[in-house]
Amino acid sequence: MDMDKRFFFEKYGLSERDLEKYLGAALGAGGEFADLYFEYLTSTSLSLDESMVKSASQGISAGCGVRVVSGERTGYAYTDDLAPEKILHAARTAALIASGPAKTPVVSLKENARPSLYPVADAASDAELSKKVELVFRADKAARAYDPRIKEVRASYADELRRILVIGSDGTFAEDVQPLSRMSVFVIARDGPLSSKGSSGGGGRNKFEIFLTEKTPEHFATEAARQAILQLSAVSCPAGEMEVVLGPGWPGVLLHEAIGHGLEADFNRKKTSAFSGLLGKRVASDKCTVVDNGTLNERRGSLNVDDEGNTTNNTTLIENGILKGYMADKLSARLMGLPNTGNGRRESYEHIPMPRMTNTYMLAGDDLPEDIIKSVKRGLYAVNFAGGQVDITNGKFVFAASEAYLIEDGKITAPVKDATLIGNGPDVLTRVSMVGNDLKLDEGIGTCGKDGQSVPVGVGIPTLKIDRMTVGGTGS
Amino acid sequence: MATTVTPVKLELRELAAGVVKRAMELGATAAEAVVAEGSEFSTVVRLGEVETLKESGSRALGVRVFVGQRAANTTTSDLSAEGVEQLVRSAIELAKITSEDPMGGIPEAAQLGEVPGELGLYYDDVYSLSNAERIEQARRAEKAALAVDARLTNSEGGTFDASVGHKVLANSHGFVGEYRSSYCSISAVPIGIDEAGNMQRDYWYSVARTLAKLESPEEVGRIAAERTLRRLGARKIKTQKVPIVFDRQTAGALLGHIFDAVNGDAIYRHASFLAGKLGEKPFGGNLTVIDDGTIAGGFGTRPFDSEGVPTRRTTVIENGELKSYLMNTYTAKKLGLATTGNASRGLAGTPGIGNGNFYLQPGEKSQEEIIKGVKQGLLVTEFLGFGVNLVTGDFSRGASGMWIENGELAYPVEEITVAGNLGEMFSNLAEIGNDLIWRGAVACPTLRIEGMTIAGE
């Protein structure tokens, strides 16, 4: 094993014998399966406001979570003190979920080959602080230079390095070092009595250099400023049902809300999802193929191994409109007899893993984006969104457009004010009549919340035309 | 059960004060340290069987330092001597790269202190039940919900949670304050299915600082069931403008947006539609909004804020006039005003602004009377999504609820949005209910608002 892989053994004096002892304690009252999740997370963040770096933060968080699974039951306990007696105590607490004779865990821990999707040695977190500070000052300057009406600029930079070790009674042994970084810029424009805002940001599991080459502070600052200036002249968004064209990239949050959550295996195992029982059935037009892919290099939603120690996958969720699969973790896969797709994720050692998305996107189609716009008589062209939410059970979902335009007689016209779009997950994709050839993934800023747990994710779509959706404006 | 006077845990106080002392030794000109300790228990029972059981405790430490006018902060879960030393050294080091901010600093010594008297924030009975009894609470809530109607065939479960926390704040003026808090809660999330095979779910909960004030699992389950049942058979309605009645939950969410808009942080950066409106009357004469961090037993009550300033009662809006923003030390300095004791943060990061018990002064009518007065309109019972632009006040959120026909609830409605502008919405409060009930730190009675747009078919 290389140096990196011995991190927890070195730092906390762990041995394989200790790990076996903890697993033994976890299965001390029976149960089919137990695992230990060690985490050591370091983070740095900086934020600029009024052209000053007003705050800088660094944090260290370390701990171990112990899970015991017995049938459909899960017992969980964690400790932020990695002393052996504390881990043993957590293991004995989690063990209380089961009530039977002690089981002997499988002790032949075996480490499977894992991919290497992101840099570790020169991850963003390793860069000098002064270089990170320079990024937020550059963003401030670029946003103010864009237009004198840009009056307020906030720019922030954050990175983290997460080291994990997952040990399971099924023999799982997986270590990973997961870098993550992002920049974000938020601006306010003022012109007489009018105010507006704009925001932009991005990053990923990348080297620091990406902020100097591709995802530069100027790129994000200009984008945020452009949105804010544009919004100064926005008109009221119309209300009611109309044709909607989604621009490529971040508007893929539609997929995340409309179908992504509904295809997480836990909801389907419990039959609480509007998608329950639809495997093999048509849930989208035949132009739609949607995947969840945790194996893309350096993407925000990518992982070498998930938080249960399984390698991630490129999982086809919908193929030519037919529902093909769910996103599963160990528990769901075992209870439903499904393949484990490596979607078991958790926010931290304090949390129980569950099926979560990684990078969810729709594959490109054949249509030219300009032809899609031309085909719309009266509708909305939405290119930026501020996030969304879904009710898994009735399938209703929303996402809020922060940059959108009217389409009139095949032409993009006036920008409109913020408006929420609402639809029904199981049928919104059946109304997709055109799919562009311009698939784009988002810039790397998405965070998904489920049951109080936040994890980084990615989304993407090509330009899409939805024949009918409800747009929640105030105009006519 | 009476409040327990808790023995002071000396080591946490000493730890916090020691961190401040060490920071000053290493060159800080001012410092604050926070130690937070907590325990949590939660269980979910689904379809009568235990699904999860979680129990743990944690401790963490944070420090904020000023070196002259430069600030930085660090946090750690490593409370060993080396961990603490590294925490302080990192903070001092980090302060070298931040900017000189003339307004930066901790409060003046004279501003520090605590609300006197027993605030009723901590009851040790929340942890008095055995695991079996806790599981039973969750089981009973779910069972009661599913027993109400045969159409309730599935469930996301019943839950019982308990947590206790202990927070200590120390700063370089010699202030050391601490308080404990406790919570327990029960919830149920039943799922129903209508004749067409469409599912709906809803929830209900009870939360309290002591078991003695927690509603019974049966009551929670029954209300959750009623809320799910009334959604069955929901339909879309046409795009239109009609009077909208917001129940206590959704009205509370609207009032939460008003809190965000009077947040001093948003005000000084002109990121709120209420910036610069202090002393003006941007709202109707029937609107009075108060923030009070001192109400005994309140969910938003604390003896002092996250900078050690005593919490207080602040009239935010009085008869439509904007009387005060809510501020911490920094935002108050930026605005040339005095802190309102609303500093808020987790560990020792840069303080933000948090509400105390934030509420809208109730009116005269019951919710029933308000609904009776609506010929055609909508009762909104749930929001979906977060479509609020605080800079402009523009509001557009997904919603579901009940159609009102001739003063009666007619049928459930879903897949619509409601939109307007927060400034205009709170100027057009046609009715304010008398049903102010504290179920969290923000509370609002039923509201009837005119002039909003419903987008549907």
Cβ–Cβ contacts within 10 Å for residue B345, how many?
21
Q: How far is B364 from chain A (nearest CA, A)?
A: 31
Please indicate whether residue B379 or residue A103 has the higher confidence score (pLDDT). Answer: B379
B85 touching chain A per CB within 8 A: no
Give per-residue pLDDT as tens, B252-287: 999 999 999 999 999 999 999 999 999 999 999 999
Q: Residue A365 belongs to what domain range?
A: 239-472
B11 touches chain A (CB under 8 A): no
How many whole angstroms separate alpha carbon B353 and alpha carbon B113?
A: 18
Q: Is B385 on the interface with A (CB under 8 A)?
A: yes
HSE on the CB side for B257, CA within 13 Å? 24
Does B272 touch chain A if contact means CB atoms closer than 8 Å? no
| Nearest by CB: B391 against A53, A96, A197 | A197
CB atoms within 10 A of CB A65: 26
- Enumerate residues 6+ apart whose C-beta is below 8 A from A304: A114, A115, A116, A117, A118, A176, A178, A311, A312
Which of residues A197, A232, A267 is at a domain's end?
Answer: A232
pLDDT for A342? 97
What region does A21 belong to: left with phi over 0, alpha with psi -120 to 50, or beta? alpha
Which residue's entry shows tokens 């004030």? B213
C-alpha pair distances (Å), A111 with each of A172, A311, A468, B230: 7, 11, 50, 52
Q: Hey, is the C-beta of B153 within 8 angstroms of any chain A C-beta?
A: no
Bridge partners (DSSP) of residue B222 are none
What's the CA gap between A147 and A222, in Å, rounded? 10
Q: Tell me, what's the ipTM?
A: 0.92
pLDDT band at A94 (very low <50, low <70, confident <90, very high): very high
Is B427 within 8 Å of B340 (Cβ atoms)?
Answer: no
| Nearest residue of chain A to residue B72 (CA atoms) | A56
Query: Residue A73: closest CA among chain B residues belongs to which residue?
Result: B51
A455-471 mean pLDDT:
97
The answer, yes or no, to whether residue A473 has pLDDT greater than 80, is: yes
**Beta-carbon pairs below 8 A across chains A and B:** 252
Lowest mean pLDDT among A81-85, A151-155, A162-166, B361-365: A81-85
Tell me: do A214 and A288 sit in the same domain: no
Q: Could you give the residue ranges of the DSSP H alpha helices within B374-438?
A: 422-425
And the tokens for A428?
């919104």
Tell if the CB–CB gap between A195 and B270 is shorter than 8 Å.
yes
% chain B with pLDDT above 70: 98
Do A210 and A295 fall into the same domain? no
Q: Does A75 sit within 8 Å of B54, measured CB to CB? A: yes
Question: What is the model's pLDDT at position B1?
Answer: 34
Q: CATH number of the domain at B10-228, please?
A: 3.30.2290.10
Same domain, yes or no: A263 and A195: no
**Pair (A178, A317) in one structural domain:** no
How much of chain B is in helix, strand and coil states, percent to nearest 5?
Answer: 25, 35, 40
**pLDDT confidence bin for A2, thresholds 50/70/90:** very low
Q: Are residues A268 and A376 in the same domain?
A: yes
Residue B188 has pLDDT above 60, yes or no: yes
Asked if A90 and A197 sit in the same domain, the reply is yes
Give residues with Cβ within 8 angstroms of B295, minimum separation 6. Answer: B301, B356, B357
* Cβ contact B398:B409 at 8 Å: no
Residue in B with minimal Cα distance to A351:
B54
Q: Percentage of chain A surpassing pLDDT 70?
A: 98
- Under DSSP, is residue B153 helix (H, G, I), strand (E, B) or coil? strand
Q: Which helix (H) or strand (E) holds A93?
A: helix A84-95
pLDDT-derived band of residue B245, with 50, 70 and 90 as boundaries?
A: very high
Predicted pLDDT of residue B10: 57
Count CA within 13 A, CB hemisphere, residue A95: 21
A350:B56 CB<8 A: yes
Residues A213 and A304 in one domain: no
Give the mean pLDDT of chain B: 95
Pairing between β-strand A110-111 and β-strand B49-67 as defined by DSSP bridges:
unpaired
Distances (CA, A) of A185 to A102, A139, A221, B72: 54, 7, 6, 20
Burial degree of A17 (CB within 10 A; 0-12, 13-18, 19+): exposed
DSSP annotation of B263 reads: B
Give pLDDT tens digits for B299-316: 999 999 999 999 999 999
pLDDT in tens, A32-63: 999 999 999 999 999 999 999 999 999 999 99
A247: left (phi over 0), alpha (psi -120 to 50) or beta: beta
The band of B6, judged by pLDDT with boundaries at 50, 70 and 90, is very low
Closest alpha carbon within chain A to B198: A394
Kindly report, residue by residue over A10-38, the tens digit of the pLDDT.
989 888 889 999 999 999 998 899 999 99
A208 and A297, same domain (yes or no): no
Would you call B454 and A239 a contact, using CB atoms and an 8 Å cutoff? Answer: yes
Cβ distance of B75 and A272 shorter than 8 Å:
no
Cβ proximity of B12 and B178 under 8 Å: yes
One domain, residues A32 and A177: yes
Indicate if the pLDDT at residue A106 is higher than 90: no
Q: Which residue of A has its CA nearest to B347?
A: A59
Burial A81-119 (b: 16+ CB within 10 A, else e): bbeeebbbbbbbbbbbbbeeeebebeeebeeeebeebbb
The whole-number pLDDT of residue B270 equals 93
Mean pLDDT score, A54-78? 95
Please tell me the distance from the alpha carbon of residue B410 to that of residue B417, in angstroms, as a whole number.
19
The residue behind tokens 């270089």 is A131
Predicted local confidence at residue A102, as pLDDT: 80
pLDDT bin (cut points 50, 70, 90) of residue A1 is very low
Interchain contact, B98 vs A195, CB within 8 Å: no
* pLDDT-based confidence at residue A6 (cuts at 50, 70, 90): confident
Query: How far does the CA of residue A219 sit from the closest CA of chain B (Å)?
Result: 23
| Predicted local distance difference test score (pLDDT) of residue A105 | 67
pLDDT in tens, A394-411: 999 999 999 999 999 999
CA trace torsion A5, A6, A7, A13 (10° rounding): 160
* Per-residue pLDDT reduced to its tens digit, B90-114: 999 999 999 999 999 999 999 999 9
Q: What pairing do the DSSP bridges indicate for beta strands B240-241 and A194-204?
A: unpaired
- Segment B9-25 mean pLDDT: 91
Q: Would the pLDDT of A341 be above 50?
A: yes
**A239: closest CA of chain B, how far (Å):** 5
Instruction: Give the side-chain half-sphere CA count within 13 A for B199.
Output: 25
The amino acid at B406: N
B1 three-state secondary structure: coil
Q: Which H helix or E strand runs over A49?
A: strand A33-49
Q: Return the minimum-mean-pLDDT range out of A105-114, B137-146, B294-303.
A: A105-114
Residue A5 banded pLDDT, cuts 50, 70, 90: low
The pLDDT, as a whole number, for residue A107 is 66
B229's CB contacts (< 8 A; 6+ apart) are B148, B149, B151, B152, B192
Q: Region B328-333: what's the mean pLDDT?
A: 97
Distance (Å) from the C-alpha of residue B73 to the closest C-alpha of chain A? Answer: 5
Residue A80 belongs to a domain with what CATH number?
A: 3.30.2290.10
Q: Classify A464 as helix, strand or coil.
A: strand
Q: Percentage of chain B with pLDDT > 90?
A: 95
Do both A186 and A246 map to the same domain? no
Based on the fold, state whether residues A272 and A346 are members of the same structural domain.
Answer: yes
Q: How many residues does chain A have?
A: 476
Could you state, in order of their start, the residue ranges of all structural domains in chain B?
10-228, 234-457
Per residue in A225-246, pLDDT (tens digit) is: 999 999 999 999 999 999 999 9
pTM recorded for the entire structure: 0.94
Q: Is B98 left (phi over 0), alpha (psi -120 to 50) or beta?
A: beta
- Residues A221, A249, single domain; the answer is no
pLDDT band, residue B2 (cuts 50/70/90)? very low
- Residue A441 near residue A248, CB atoms below 8 Å: no
The reported pLDDT for the residue numbered A418 is: 87
Question: In total, how many domains does chain A have?
Answer: 2
Look at B415 and A470 and tell me if their CB atoms are within 8 Å. yes
Q: What is the DSSP string of B40-103?
A: EEEEEEETTEEEEEEEEEEEEEEEEEEETTEEEEEEES--SHHHHHHHHHHHHHHTTSSPP-TT
Compute the average pLDDT of residues A444-463.
Answer: 96
